[in-house]
Chains A and B, each alone.
Chain A
Amino acid sequence: MSKLLQTKGLGIQFGGLKAVDEFNFEIDKGDLYGLIGPNGAGKTTVFNLLTGVYKPTSGRIIYKGGSLVNKSPTAITQMGIARTFQNIRLFKNMTVLDNVKVGLHHSHPYNLATAIFRFLPSFSKSEAAMDEEARSLLRVFDLEEFADDKAVNLPYGQQRKLEIARALATAPQLLLLDEPAAGMNPAETEELMATIKMVREKFSVAILLIEHDMRLVMGICEKIAVLNFGTVLAFGTPEEIKNNPDVIAAYLGEEE
């Protein structure tokens, strides 16, 4: 039984620095996986490798039985891996609705001629379908009332949600969330945890998330991988990770 995504001996070297080394990992359909580790451990680099932003210098990435190495970020996204970013990267001057519609781009492939002959029904039909789909996504995240506002005018928490909505618009099977709770207060984090759980149920996606907020990670992730200096320090359930002496040492330092 092949997993949704597997990496084997994945690694990348920048000059002499091994940012990620021998990263072996697998995630199955419907998993909610946490990726934690101290700053600079290589967590975001793993995301960049998985989404094709960086080309690995060693190892393999197997997604649904096929290799992802040397595929462009665009192709990988279209195959069903979507992500959000550590520092929000919305299309700031586009409307909230259009941000989501960009995510819907490849699932509504009407061609250039249809765009030019916009007075014909095939154009309005496609656009109406996109509009409806984008709005229903916004509704899930309680963003519909902001649909015509510029994304940059949204409050911070809503921008985070919009980024998730845009990622979901690409119809992913695996969703990568890079520090979704960064900069959020406890109440917002609480709400975000509920949102993440809801997203997994409603869209039946596997979720891999990077997070520093231990309450969030321990609260919702079923499995956790701990990275340190580019290598995996430990795998396990939240309970196992909490009591793992290596993990405690990496986070708090060892007793002298």
Chain B
Amino acid sequence: MVKKILKSKTLGGFGLCIAVFIILNVLMMTKVLNSYWRGVAIVCCINIILAVSLNLATGYLGQLTLGHAGFMSVGAYTSAILSIHLGLKTSQSPVIFILCLLAGAIMATLIGLLIGIPILRLRGDYLCIATLAFNEIIRVVFVNLEITNGSKGLIGIPYMTNFLYVYIFMAITIYVVYALVNSRHGRAIISIREDEIASELAGIPVTYYKILAFVVSAFFAGLAGGLYAHYMTIIMPSTFDYNKSVEILVMVVLGGMGSLPGSIIAALLLTLIPELLIQFSQYRMLIYAIVLIAAMILKGSGAGERILSKLPFRKTKRIEVSGNE
């Protein structure tokens, strides 16, 4: 029994999650990580939520979407407007804050449902363009609405997000996506990516699962948006343009379609690299671009796998499988 628990991936992940949290917290309390790096850690967690949730729609379901920042902005604006109108203060009970976040996430879900039903009939490039258009439409809507304060941006959002919140929500996101993917529902979603027609003819309700994955993905994007808004305290429509969508998509593609650890690592690296390169000032984005290109080229070559397989704790079972070709 004990052995079984130790073997269980779920519990192992849970343990790792708590261990990382404790280590980071100790580092923060002992001022090894100053408040600047604490901020970076918060952004890392938000980006992990975004990458992991997009991975559900793009990596597992196999639908290339470029509207993730759109859902993020819906969640950000909805929760921010709510918390401003409720006059939320940092000292107040976290329950209301969490409810605001959930309201934002649910709004993103509803919008996801609304646009998902028509556009998920499209495939490949067409779907990509449609989601890109959605992203732009949402941005323009926020520029023109009075309640969002237009392009000047929404200011005075209470500073509520701290490391504990983002870390817990990140852990929940990873867990939910993991649980979903490793169930009959997840197999259905992956089978759609592999072969939509075969999936239909194996009795999978394809439309239902496409919308489900898309909507769950939108929910967590909205959640990330809410956390982001209450961390930055100022949000502008231009923050959530298609560049942000592309940035999230890059994390997913770089980490590997349909790989949760990959998404997490890629989100971490792509958030940390620009911070670490800050000393190179104007060459920063140049180096960042080179790192991206190098990563993309090396990714398919198996270089990463060769390096990983040399690590002592990794089982090298894959080699046997590919040997029988």
Chain A residues proximal to chain B, CB less than 8 Å: 51, 53, 72-74, 77-78, 82-83, 85, 89-94, 98, 101-106, 108, 110, 112, 114-119, 123, 126-127, 130, 149-150, 153, 166-167, 169-170
Contacts and interface: CB of A to CB of B under 8 A. Distances in A.
Given A116-B176, A116-B180, A153 B321 contact: yes
Interface residues of B, number: 30
Interface of B: 10, 176, 179-180, 182-188, 190-191, 194-195, 197-206, 212, 321-322, 324-325
Contacts of A166: 202
Given A102-B202, A150-B321, A153-B324, A115 B184 contact: yes
A94 B187 contact: yes
B194 A91 contact: yes
15 contacts: A53-B197, A73-B200, A73-B201, A74-B201, A85-B198, A92-B195, A94-B191, A98-B187, A102-B191, A105-B204, A112-B212, A115-B184, A116-B179, A116-B180, A118-B10
A245 to B, nearest CB: 37
B319 to A, nearest CB: 12
A92 B180 CA distance: 20
A89 B187 contact: no
B179 A51 contact: no
B10 A153 contact: no
Contacts of A51: 201
A118 B182 contact: yes
Given A91-B191, A91-B194, A93-B194, A119 B325 contact: no
A166 B325 CA distance: 23
A153 B199 CA distance: 20
B183 A118 contact: yes
Given A94-B187, A112-B212, 18 more contacts: A72-B200, A73-B200, A77-B202, A82-B201, A91-B195, A92-B194, A93-B194, A102-B187, A102-B199, A103-B202, A104-B184, A105-B184, A106-B203, A108-B184, A116-B176, A118-B183, A123-B183, A167-B202
Contacts of A92: 194-195
A127 B199 CA distance: 20
B205 A74 contact: yes
A101 B182 CA distance: 12
A101 B184 contact: yes
A77 B203 CA distance: 5
B185 A112 contact: yes
Contacts of B200: 72-74, 77
Most-contacted residue by chain B among A85, A102, A108 (CB, 10 A): A102
* 4 tightest Cβ-Cβ pairs between the two chains A and B: A115-B183, A91-B194, A89-B198, A77-B203
Most-contacted residue by chain B among A118, A126, A130, A170 (CB, 10 A): A118
A153 B188 contact: no
Contacts of B184: 101, 104-105, 108, 110, 115, 126-127, 130
Nearest to A101: B187
